[in-house]
Amino acid sequence: MGRRNNTDVSAFILVGLTDSYEIQLVLFNLFLLIYLVTVLGNAGMILIIHLDLQLHTPMYFFLRHLSFVDLSYSTVIAPKTLENLVTSNKHISYGGCFGQMYFFIFFVATECILLASMAYDRYVAISKPLQYPVIMSTELCYILIMAPYMVGFIDSTVTVLYMNTLNFCNSNVIHHFFCDTSPVVALLCSDSHNVEIIILILAGTTLVASLIIVSVSYVPILSTILKIKSTAGRRKAFSTCASHLMGVTIFYGSMMFTYVKPSSSYTLGKDQVASVFYTIVIPMLNPLIYSLRNKEVKNALIRVMQKTGSARNFR
């Protein structure tokens, strides 16, 4: 990513979300609050799951990685966005722009496949509860967690390395608040058709493959839940996958709206709103959707706090 291609562009200018200073201040305070909640929520989840032995199960193993991914890709975007909202310097270096793009693609693609791994885990837990400990072995859990990171690595590496061989000579002004693929591709003076196809194939394949896995997993899940005779049993079974289904719908919906289309159809206003949602808002929502409403997590938090209090009293 540090390699320069045949171009006169040494830095890019991120236009941002608005030219209004008053609106920028409002957005800065809002985004700063959201980012702080994101950091506290996701870092807190990682810590609680790590410290509480009762949460050392496959479900929370995946949730811990989800929190890590959410925290990571939010951190790739939010700090630079906050800086641009309160300073007149909107520049980002050539390497910084491609670095931001690389890690953003890496973590977002990772989350797509990670959600599919979590869907399979929920399928086994609800459809085959007696076989769950055997099927979801330690070896399988590590395979299901390594696959998302491998897909993220492939998607980000292929996209960024190919784009880094092309020329940017039309302009260095990115009409976005971060170095996303569509607004950066719009600056190419080289033929952008091939890179658009590559982005479409990689993003489309990752999204479609993960959606197929999620869909195939949830058909038998819903069928199993509907066969449960007691209302309490159905409610309990559905509660174990409702949060995941909600998170999947929100994440995939905003991602498909933005990426599964040619960059020629890129529209600044609509895509920026969708981008704000999945880069800044969703990483904050996931701890709430998946975990903070979960009684097991709340009980684990109480146990961790009690242990911490007991340790202090002992000292």
| pLDDT tens profile 23-65 | 999 999 999 999 999 999 999 999 989 888 888 899 899 999 9
Q: Which residues contact 207 (CB under 8 A, 6 or more apart)?
A: 112, 252, 255, 256, 259, 260
Which residues, in sequence order, are CB contacts of 100 under 8 Å at separation 6+?
A: 76, 77, 80, 92, 178, 179
The predicted structure's pLDDT at residue 145: 96
The reported pLDDT for the residue numbered 291 is 65
Q: Which of 39, 315, 296, 41 is nearest to 307 (CA)?
A: 315
pLDDT at 299: 77
**CA proximity to 116, closest of 253, 247, 278, 263:** 247
DSSP 168: B
Fold designation for 11-314: Rhopdopsin 7-helix transmembrane proteins (1.20.1070)
Query: What per-residue confidence (pLDDT) applies to 144?
Result: 96
| DSSP 8-state assignment for residue 151 | H
The whole-number pLDDT of residue 315 equals 55
pLDDT at 188: 84
For the chain, give the mean pLDDT: 84
Spans of the chain below 50 pLDDT: 1-6
> Hey, CA dihedral for 150, 292, 299, 133, is it positive or negative?
negative
